[in-house]
Amino acid sequence: MACFKIRASRKTETDHMAQEQRLKINFYLPGVSPIEYNSGEYTVEDLCVEAAKRCHISPLCYNLFSLYEEESRLWYAPSYAFKIEEGSATKLYYRMR
């Protein structure tokens, strides 16, 4: 197992990048880049529709997928609304329920 030391300058760059990303939707599929939102208000249903289009999922199958937060092991209901404000950072995964 290899251990790598992050230089102080690189660490601050990483911290700064993490602060800019307010809401990030990741995918388990290789080659599909994450979707990032920096401001606004979005329902989970709207976010899932955009994520499904990015993954080329048929509209008939939209309801099989949802947004999942790994840290808290929480599935979000389609009616839940994310209000993206300064200082908030949420990392979600688009996956099958």
Looking at domain 22-96, which of 3.40.50, 3.10.20, 3.30.70, 1.10.1740 is its CATH number?
3.10.20
Between 14-28, 58-72, 76-90, the lowest mean confidence (pLDDT) is in 14-28
Q: Coil, strand, or helix at residue 70?
A: coil
- Residue 62: phi and psi, rounded to 5, are -55, -40
Q: What is the mean pLDDT of the chain?
A: 84
pTM: 0.75
Instruction: Answer for the pair 82, 90: CB distance below 8 angstroms, yes or no.
Output: yes
Separation in Å, CA 50 to CA 28, 29, 46 = 16, 15, 6
Write the pLDDT tens digit of every residue in 41-70.
999 999 999 999 999 999 999 999 999 999
Separation in Å, CA 79 to CA 5, 9, 86 = 43, 41, 22
**pLDDT over 90 (residue 19):** no
Separation in Å, CA 38 to CA 5, 30, 32, 82 = 30, 24, 19, 11
**What are the residue ranges spanned by the domains of the chain?**
22-96
